[in-house]
Amino acid sequence: MIDYLIVGSGLAGISFSEVALFNNKSIFVIDNDSQSSSKIAGGLYNPVILKRFSEVWKAKEQLELMVSFYSRLEYKLGMQIDFKKPILRKFFSIEEQNNWFSASDKPGLTPFLSLNLITKKYLGIDSPYNYGEVLCTGYVDTAILLENYREYLKLNDWFRNENFDYTALEIKTNYIKYKDLDVKNIVFAEGFGMNANPYFNYLPLDGTKGELFIIKAPELQLDVIINTSVFILPLGNDLFKVGATYNWKDKTDLPSDEGRNELIDRIKEILNCEFEIIEHFAGVRPTVRDRRPLVGSHFNFKNIHLLNGLGTRGVMLGPSMAEALFDFIENGIPLDKEIDIQRIKKKNYR
């Protein structure tokens, strides 16, 4: 009998898999590779919403947990996936500088906003008003993480690449049968694919399409992450990841001319050097209108669970939300009301 069948191997699925294994539970993962948002994500972790100079929800708790979580994964996989790197917010005016210093007085932001202006001049970027530095930042190489974690699962015979067949799910009194697998619990971590899930498709998952570039810019000398209307993340060898767009109407994972043109315009607002587009990616983020994850158990079937809605901050949210769901299932510790799916009125019943 397997303790957990996990459907999906993006950031949510990996996070729950790791929490379960760390607590000596057995797992099996099924994924059909249909959702690409985790693979193409920027992977940044940043405790500050720079557009509004406000704190990310429960940023301190998330950061503390993710440090040990990714360190453990690096040891397990034998490779670096967590790259600690400063994020600089380029200022476009004196007013933006003043807003930064005003925000730094807020109790939740004081630990994360440096009071020292960064005056360094980076080749390829005009910065007459300098930069503000966000502390406790970096990025996780999500593509490397997902690829190698899946290989780890395969080596242990814990992974199957297939479409999940909801009609093959048989809910027994004390366990669930799925084809040849008998499991105690099932955790759906399907990202935007949740909308096809008959157990949870009543929930308001409203995917947001994002598009990114890999660009080559030999004249751009940058060893930090720049974050303004887009982020610019140095990858080495004159390559940079740049993103991202937000499109609430288009639910496809195909790169678009609209996204391409938007990114080009935004890059030109920041860089004063030539750049070449090497690759263009797109994916649909699993977002929720109230900006909180979807975590919890089905209202009728208590051994069917959900971990979804990590949105644009999956790298930070994944470990803490997986921990919360595991503690809820195994130890009866109530979920925070802000993430519990019970907060959403059920309009459809299965």
- Whether 349 shows a pLDDT value over 50: the answer reads no
Establish if 49 belongs to a structural domain: no
241 and 158 housed in the same domain: no
pTM over 0.85: yes
Whether residues 242 and 305 fall in one domain: no
DSSP type of residue 229: S
pLDDT digits over 291-314, tens only?
Answer: 899 999 999 999 999 999 998 899
Q: Which residue bears the tokens 């502390």?
A: 135
Q: Does residue 308 share a domain with residue 189? A: yes
Shared domain for 238 and 319, answered yes or no, is no
**The domain spanning residue 126 has which CATH number?**
3.30.9.10
Q: What is the per-residue pLDDT for 197?
A: 96
**Cβ(225)–Cβ(216) below 8 Å:** no
Residue with tokens 């000398």: 221
Whether 322 is covered by a domain: the verdict is yes
Q: Are residues 157 and 185 in the same domain?
A: yes
How does strand 231-236 pair with strand 225-227?
A: antiparallel
Take residue 163 and report the two structure tokens written for it. 């479409």
Residues 278 and 328 in one domain: no
Report the pLDDT value the prediction gives residue 35, as an integer from 0 to 100: 60
Confidence check: pLDDT of 27 > 90: yes
Tell me, yes or no, whether 265 and 293 share the same domain.
no
Q: Does residue 9 sit in the same domain as residue 110?
A: no
Residue 252, domain member (yes or no) = yes
The rounded distance, in Å, linking the Cα atoms of 200 and 306 is 8
| Alpha-carbon gap, residue 102 to 86, rounded angstroms | 21
Last residue of a domain, one of 285, 305, 326: 285
Which pLDDT band, with edges at 50, 70 and 90, does 221 fall under? very high
At residue 74, what are phi and psi to the nearest 5 degrees? -60, -40
**Rounded to whole angstroms, how far apart are CA atoms 348 and 290?**
19
Shared-domain flag, residues 281 and 241: yes
- 171-195: per-residue pLDDT in tens? 998 999 999 999 999 999 999 999 9
Q: Which amino acid, 264?
A: I
131/213 same-domain check: yes
Does the pLDDT at position 350 exceed 50? no
CA distance 242 to 211: 9
Residue 39 scores a pLDDT above 90: no
Pairing of strands 276-285, 44-45: unpaired
33 closest CA partner among 283, 242, 202: 283
* 240: in domain: yes
Check whether 348 has a pLDDT greater than 70. Answer: no
Distance CA(25)–CA(277), nearest Å, equals: 45
Q: Which domain holds residue 255?
A: 86-136+208-285
Residues 94 and 191 in one domain: no
**pLDDT at residue 42 in the model:** 80
Rounded Cα distance, 127 and 131, in Å: 8
The mean pLDDT value for 236-248 works out to 93
- Count the domains in the chain: 2
pLDDT of residue 107: 87
Query: Does residue 40 register a pLDDT over 80?
Result: no
- What is the helix (H) or strand (E) element at residue 225, kind and residue range? strand 225-227
pLDDT per residue as tens digits for the range 246-266:
998 998 889 999 999 999 999
Q: Tell me which of 264, 285, 306 is where a domain ends.
A: 285
**What confidence tens digit (pLDDT) does each residue in 51-92 have?**
888 899 999 999 999 999 999 999 999 999 999 999 999 999
Contact in structure between 261 and 210 (CB atoms under 8 Å): no
pLDDT (average), residues 219-237: 94
Of 236, 270, 285, which marks where a domain is finished?
A: 285
131 part of a folded domain: yes
User: Does 78 reside within a domain?
Assistant: no
Tokens encoding 345: 């009125």
Instruction: Name which of 219, 215, 230, 241 is nearest 263 in CA terms.
Output: 230
A 10 A CB-CB count for 345 gives: 7
Q: Are residues 281 and 231 in the same domain?
A: yes
Residue 14 in any domain: the answer is yes
In a domain, 30, yes or no: yes
CATH number at residue 338: 3.50.50.60
Measured torsion, CA atoms of residues 170, 172, 174, 178, in degrees rounded to the nearest 10: -20
Q: Does pLDDT of 317 surpass 80?
A: yes
